Amino acid sequence: MCLGIFMLLLDITIVNVALPDIQSELDTSLAGLQWVIDAYALSLAALLLTAGSLADLYGRKRVFMIGLALFTLGSALCGFAPDIVTLGAARAFQGIGGAAVFATGLAILSSTFSGKERGTAFGLFGATTGVAVAVGPVLGGVLTTGLSWRWIFFVNIPVALFALAVSKRYVTESKDPHAGRPDYVGFASFSLALGLLVFALIEAGERSFTSTLVTVPAAIAAGLLLFFVVSQRRRTDPMFDLALLRKPSFVGGLIAAFAVSGSIFSLLTYLTIYLQNVLGYSALGAGWRLLFLSGLAFFASAAAGRLTNTVPTKWLIAPGFLVTSVGLALLTLIGPDTSWTAIIPGLVVAGIGIGFINVPLASTAVGVVTPDKSGMASGVNSTFRQVGIATGIAALGSIFSQQTSRDIAAALQNTPASDRAEQISEATRAGQLDQALMNVPTQVAERITDVATAAFVNALDTITWIAAGLALVAGLLCFWLIRAEDFEVGQDAERDDRGADDGAGDGDRVSEPV
């Protein structure tokens, strides 16, 4: 289980530092890079709850192993992808397998271990998630710089095959005898709505927010989401029981799950591109520098874990968001002429904030519901994390693209290069400005480079402020919504006492990705 979850979480963080190399080799736009991240997140978000239902119905070991096999095949397809469209499709395929593994990991551990052994297993499982997030940027840098970006996917294959062999030999099958049939209507409407929404947000960066290719998909997505809500209200066994929203603390947990992904984790994509395309660092160089964020998050998570038994959840999550917001604000200290050290204070402060959010966040999902609803609650919370990543990267990227184009066009107005403003904007976003200026006189090329760099940094500052604002609002809402009286008293103790057989039920169905 730890090997499986390690690979899946690694593929969320490891890809960021490889994006500029992917962009260069596959000759793609910023929108293409957004789909490399979002295709994976969309599959996870859309399939987590359905995969959990299928596991309860047909067997958790079976679904886990099928998920690992699909993830392995998807990794191979990613590594061999000849173009950005194939890579995006392969990433979506990876996400299908990833959802099956995410949805079964904790349930299998719960059915295998009991008492103190279960606590130890869960502790190791949680530590694995922290390590995966911490080492992802550096490992991605080592593989991309030392070999090729393709090896960030190829490395999954031997690990997954070993995990499959161990699973086949040692993992015992378990099911939920009371499991109902999956909600295929809810799955289809939610998946299509989410996909159309992300498509609209990404297209807004390439065109405009008023383009027909943006407004029509967005309107259809809104209609499908409304249909999804109505369908969930009418079902006796919905994939998302809307009654859970009656508890303010559960709503606060969903806001926190969405905001932590939609703010700092979404921004990391563009911060990595800045380190490599603007400052000129290799993937490995960028990975080492991002350790100021992931390393601090790892150690802060350990500290937060020790405080969870004595400090109320809201006093960890809400201040964590406020600290993250301050860290994001500090990241705006960068300018066209600053060195990479300008981002250190922001990365350190934001890393501490992330650590204090992540650990108690899981308890807001499962701690405020009865045990029979905790599997669904955890799954919904995990889904909101992935929705935050998918929509955050798409929305921030569109704003980034639009502002970069406006600033470059304004700076080049009434100059000989004014008619090439859009071409220069596209080259700037694609990290191909040097190639675009190869035949331009040196003095002119230097001027255009200065304009493009200033526009890139200004746009990065803008989306950083937006991310900081999202984190600040989330922190204030968590202060207001998360309440001690909403948590089920003694729930954890009751679940530990039920033993291995009862512990394998719906309550432990879905794992909680960091």
What are the tens digits of pLDDT across the range 28-65? 877 788 888 888 888 888 887 788 778 777 788 888 89
Closest of 440, 442, 409, 413 to residue 423, by C-alpha? 409
Maximum distance among all alpha carbons in the chain? 76
Supply the pLDDT for residue 374. Answer: 63
308 burial type by CB count under 10 A (0-12 exposed, 13-18 middle, 19+ buried): middle
Contacts of 269 by beta carbon, 8 Å cutoff, 6+ apart: 16, 19, 33, 34, 37, 393, 397
Supply the pLDDT for residue 74. Answer: 92
The low-confidence residues of the chain, meaning pLDDT below 70, are 119, 122-123, 126-127, 130, 176-180, 362-363, 365-366, 370-375, 417, 430-431, 434, 436, 438-440, 488-514
pTM of the model: 0.83
Supply the pLDDT for residue 412. Answer: 80
pLDDT digits (tens, 9 = 90+) for 398-446: 898 888 888 888 888 877 767 777 777 777 776 677 676 766 677 777 7
Supply the pLDDT for residue 504. Answer: 41
Contacts of 173 by beta carbon, 8 Å cutoff, 6+ apart: 59, 60, 61, 62
Vertex 225, ends 55 and 382: CA angle to 5°?
40
Residue 417, token pair as written in the block = 């290069």
Supply the pLDDT for residue 28. Answer: 80
Residue 36, token pair as written in the block = 């490399």
CA distances from 287 to 133, 283, 327 (A): 12, 6, 19
Is residue 133 within 8 Å of residue 260, measured between CB atoms? Answer: no
